[in-house]
Amino acid sequence: MRVLGIESSCDETAAAVVEIDVSLSCTLLTNVVASSMDLHVQYGGVVPEIAARSHIESIIPVIDEAVTPVGWDSVDAVAVTYGAGLGGSLLVGVMSARSLSIAKNKPLYAVNHVEGHVYANFITGTSLPGYNLPGSAPAFPCLALIVSGGHSQLVLFRNHFDYTLLGQTQDDAVGEAFDKVAKTIGLPYPGGPSVGKKALEGDAQAFKLPKAKMPHKYDFSFSGLKTAVLRHAQAACGQDFTFPSKLLPSALSDAQKADIAAVFQRVAIETVVDKTIQAYEEFSPASVVIAGGVAASPELRRQLAERLPIEIAYTDPKLCTDNGAMIACLGAFKAKLGQDDRYRPQAPADPYTLDIQPNLSM
Ligand code: KG4
Ligand code: ZN
């Protein structure tokens, strides 16, 4: 069975085709991502209006490029992200998927973007060059740490479509904290890679930053950490809390920026790793996966490898940030198993009525 996945929840317009076989092995056949990131860099974050316009320009060529090598006749279903995400961005993907589902007479599967991120780890084969994929799919029960620009969550999957949200961020997502700290110290957007790169030149123990204590043990909070970085940066250049943050990038030395990047990165990543280890000890899952843009972080992978008693089979960094392959993969599992009564039912969506859900949660 072959499934086309369409993703447009933020600034990436993406489409991919996967094939799922009888043994539930999922192979990536095509994967196309067009990002409008370059248009947002000057604003230090994604501008919803610009992202939506860019999706409109890119969506047809991107879908065409993903489907042409395999041909429409071989596509059995269409899957699309319907939430969570930016309303204007989601609409473009959902409307395109609805139209294609009707015109090509293929069933349509509505996919939760965050759940989709986890399914990047279920893609175990491809003949496309340049991918480093895990050899086998994660075993259940599976503990998933989802860390992106919009989400920070710990989820326990007992089986496909059967999961419990253990905890989540109460304010900023971890990727969002990276993006904001990058802006504070004058590093380019997106902050994850730019802070990670700068951190290599700094001392991760140069000073202390606080870790939030949460009433619920698996919840996260990053807003206090972000404010602590701002206060440290102001103090580091001899100023008090009234010093405007927009002046910090020129007031801080390169060495100060590198230390701030290194300490912030260590503490932010330690925060999510602490909770992952705690959940691992409580639930003894058969596997652990990481998902979302921050899962591409070498520091996250280093800390997990050091502290988790089991090995994680990481997916390719290209499948950690937003892509259509993860959406196609979850859609393929829904199409393959959703009508099997050993699993929770996963009915296809109505292509005439499927609506976006910008605030969809797990
Ligand atoms: O999953 P994603 O592409 O989009 C959302 O669903 O949010 O995640 C984007 C986030 C951004 O905050 C970005 O700074 C972060 O992922 N990110 C990284 C890396 N690459 C992207 N964070 C740390 N290290 C990276 N290499
Ligand atoms: Zn995402």
pLDDT, residue 39, reads: 87
What is the per-residue pLDDT for 250? 97
CB atoms within 10 A of CB 157: 20
Ligand nearest to the CA of 148: 1
Report residues near ion ligand 2: CB below 5 Å: 148, 322
- Residue count of the chain, please give it: 362
Indicate which atom in ligand 1 lies nearest the CA of residue 149. Answer: 7
Instruction: State the distance from the centre of ligand 2 to the C-alpha of 93, rounded, in angstroms.
Output: 14
- Pick from 119, 145, 108: which is nearest to 26 by CA? 119
pLDDT for the residue numbered 273? 97
Q: Specify the pLDDT at position 42.
A: 83
Looking from the CA of residue 174, the nearest atom of ligand 1 is 12
- The SS3 of residue 239 is coil
Assess contact for 187 and 248: CB atoms under 8 A.
no
Q: List pocket residues of ligand 1, CB cut-off 6 Å.
A: 10, 148-150, 175-176, 178-179, 190-193, 196, 292-294, 296-297, 321-322
Nearest to 32 by CA among 46, 16, 52: 16
| Full DSSP string of 183-225 | HHTTPPSSHHHHHHHHHTTS-TTSS-------SSTT-B--HHH
Give pLDDT < 70 ranges for the chain. Answer: none
Outline where DSSP puts E strands in the chain: 2-7, 12-20, 26-35, 77-83, 108-112, 123-126, 142-147, 152-159, 162-168, 287-291
345 CA to middle of ligand 1, Å? 31
State pTM to two decimals.
Answer: 0.94
Output the pLDDT for position 45: 80
- Calculate how far, in angstroms, residue 152's C-alpha sits from the geometric centre of ligand 1: 11
Supply the pLDDT for residue 218. 97
Asked if 154 and 276 count as a contact pair (C-beta separation under 8 A), the reply is yes
pLDDT of residue 140: 98
Among all bound ligands, the one having the nearest atom to the CA of 40 is 1
Q: What's the pLDDT score for residue 59?
A: 98
